[in-house]
Structure 1
């Protein structure tokens, strides 16, 4: 699965880079999403594979903290990129005559850079908050990678502020992205239904089908991981749900 994730996403990036016909905003965002999938996989799976191979589940504190921060950064970034891609589809279908004017190269790069900057800031913020936590027992995380919530469970410090920060940032940015995606697709569906040509409707829905599939998988598995970790005390079930979210979904 790791090889399939790396090679598949690299092929997408190479194909888009080498074909001038694919130098469009939609494929630019697709390349950004592929690069993000590669980065997220590389921050988790190689260490997991090494641990399995050498039968040693240890990881340094700095390595664990770095991994936790990277997972937050790339998780947030994917969330933003999906919303940006929804906006791209909205402009392409609802404002086709102005598409090239609105979705120019500067705007596309700006959207990706802003999404990346926000993700990095919050990844660093969460990591700095974890650095100030104290641990009064051996650090044994019942997971296959270092996750922020697992850090919080192991600390003997007051985690009220950190928990509030995590929930506010998750609800704020996750909620904004989901609301934006819903808003754009409501307008897309409304615009498509007004099209007189059935061929035009089919083409428009075909354009959005793959993006909607990725959105459904991303948020469905994400909520599945969150719900499973909230309602069950079984680390194994939480880990299995996380494998689907971080490993299988990347393929």
Structure 2
């Protein structure tokens, strides 16, 4: 005779969920945080910055979304003390726009950048892992399209081992897939009358149940990133936190 499976009651399920959230929060408090390079993004995070030893995902919605620019800005902040930046850019990646003048124009030290050009996704993931394990590397930027839980976990452990920062720019099509990243952002282009407009949405933040959205403008002359803000009463009502800081 077949036995009837036991179904956990709601109280036990809620208890397990609470334990999982507590485990996600139990990262060492001594880990250093790194600014995103944009105050508006920093304010959206519980520790007002990116946690070293973690993976950060930027999901790009279409060409010119700005995800790559924001990731490079965070990489610059992570390497301010002279650490090396490793960029793993697959030679098969379509639309690659990485070139020296652009990186130098962002304030990145070309003498401390290692550019890796793997021929396929498997080599790219291996390169990301090896670079993340190196303690002399401040940040690693990669563009993986397909990742399973095994690959995610290996990259996460590598980042934790060296206290480096793993920055992954991926297509928005993977939004519904599981993620081991500490943070996951969605970046979309936003029409604007001047500058380069972006819309950024915080999709996931480990150990934090809040979310947030913000419109940004990148000055095409200086490269500085600002929160789009018209100064009108309607904008203040839509952004109460910003309005209170300006008061």
TM-score (norm 1): 0.22
Relative contact order, CA 8 A, sep 6+: which one is greater?
1
TM-score (norm 2): 0.22
**Greater fraction of residues in helix:** 1
**Greater fraction of residues in strand:** 2
